[in-house]
Amino acid sequence: MQSFLDPKLLFDMGISFGKYAIGIILLLLAQTLIIWLYGRQKRQSQSRGNFVYGIKNIFKALITLVTIVFIFSLFGVDFKSLLTSLSIVAAAFVILFKEYITDFISGIYFGFSQDFEIGDYIQLNENKGKVIGLTLFKTKLLNDDDVIISLSNSKIYVSDLINYTKRDIRILSVDFQLALEKIKSLEILEQELVQSLYEYIQFLDKDSFNLKIVQINKDSMDIKFQYQLKEFNQDKMKEIRRKTVRCIFNYISKV
């Protein structure tokens, strides 16, 4: 048995480590160069897309692969021969880690797709929020309650996705119900709602305010108050909606 302190063994380990270090450095340099070239090309654009995240995810996978090969080489194992002789085990490995592999492939896809980008406000089935992170296996959303939600990339891939940012959905509506005895004048109510949003008037289309009756019931009336933002801004949408709801509550409290 060859001693761990054998000079030849130490020399071979040093050579292996040197190759590993050079490989990692070259990969990091290639990643930096690609991202720099892309950033230089897109410097006039405010949105850099998901390309940078896609490139980083690919190079993370390559660095992981190089590290695995390096570890096997330390034990004198030929990685190519190992893969050839363990084809059945490899197939079982794929089946066992099918979900992780699917998440990984989906993460690579989202890294280069235009379905959504970091900063977009999206909805995935019952989950809705702002995209704040895209990794190899997970995508992170920040919902309206400031709670971070991590979703597997494969789940996102097969889900119905609504991208509010790309669709430029700027029309807001607040639905509420008032008892008929509480309604004195719809014109006054609309005027109060519009006045309550005056501090946000620079963000709103002045001609978009609309208070309409949705349905008249026996003892109540379903009402919808609509307005449109000049440009999509999720934070302002939340603030304005909150202000509108409070104004409606104040109106009901007064009458």
161/172 same-domain check: no
Percent of the chain with pLDDT over 90: 0
pLDDT on residue 81: 64
pLDDT on residue 44: 47
Asked if pLDDT for residue 190 goes beyond 70, the answer is: yes
For 6-11, what is the mean pLDDT?
Answer: 64
203/232 same-domain check: yes
Note the pLDDT tens digit of each residue in 39-59.
666 654 444 556 777 777 778
pLDDT on residue 1: 45
176/241 same-domain check: yes
Residue that wins the pLDDT comparison between 221 and 255 = 221
pLDDT on residue 247: 80
**Is 162 contained in some domain?**
yes
Asked if pLDDT for residue 73 goes beyond 50, the answer is: yes
**Is 194 contained in some domain?**
yes
153/201 same-domain check: no
Domains: count for the chain: 3
pTM for the full predicted model? 0.50
**Is 179 contained in some domain?**
yes
For 110-135, what is the mean pLDDT?
Answer: 82
pLDDT on residue 46: 46
Region at 166 (left for phi over 0; alpha for psi -120 to 50; beta for the rest): alpha
Judge contact between 140 and 149, C-beta under 8 A.
yes
**Is 94 contained in some domain?**
no
136/213 same-domain check: no
Number of C-beta neighbours around residue 229 at 10 A: 20
245/176 same-domain check: yes
> Which amino acid type is present at position 46?
Q
Determine the Cα–Cα distance for residues 155 and 171; give it in Å rounded to an integer.
29
Nearest Cα residue to 136 out of 102, 160, 169, 159: 102
Please state which of the ranges 91-100, 107-116, 197-206, 233-242 shows the lowest mean pLDDT.
91-100
177/215 same-domain check: yes
11/80 same-domain check: yes
Confidence of residue 224 (pLDDT cuts 50, 70, 90): confident
First CA to last CA across the chain, in angstroms? Answer: 93
What number of residues does the chain have? 255
CATH number, domain of 187, equals 3.30.70.100
217/243 same-domain check: yes
Judge contact between 223 and 178, C-beta under 8 A.
yes
Asked if pLDDT for residue 125 goes beyond 60, the answer is: yes
Note the pLDDT tens digit of each residue in 137-187.
888 888 877 889 888 888 888 888 888 776 656 677 788 888 877 777 788
Confidence of residue 118 (pLDDT cuts 50, 70, 90): confident
**Is 209 contained in some domain?**
yes
H-state helical runs in the chain: 7-41, 51-74, 79-85, 87-96, 98-112, 153-157, 164-167, 186-196, 234-254
User: Token match 């490995």: residue?
Assistant: 93
Residue that wins the pLDDT comparison between 14 and 193 = 193
Where is the domain boundary, 166, 199, 228?
Answer: 166
**Is 18 contained in some domain?**
yes
pLDDT on residue 14: 72
Domain that holds residue 219: 168-254
Asked if pLDDT for residue 6 goes beyond 70, the answer is: no
Structure tokens at 250: 């104040």
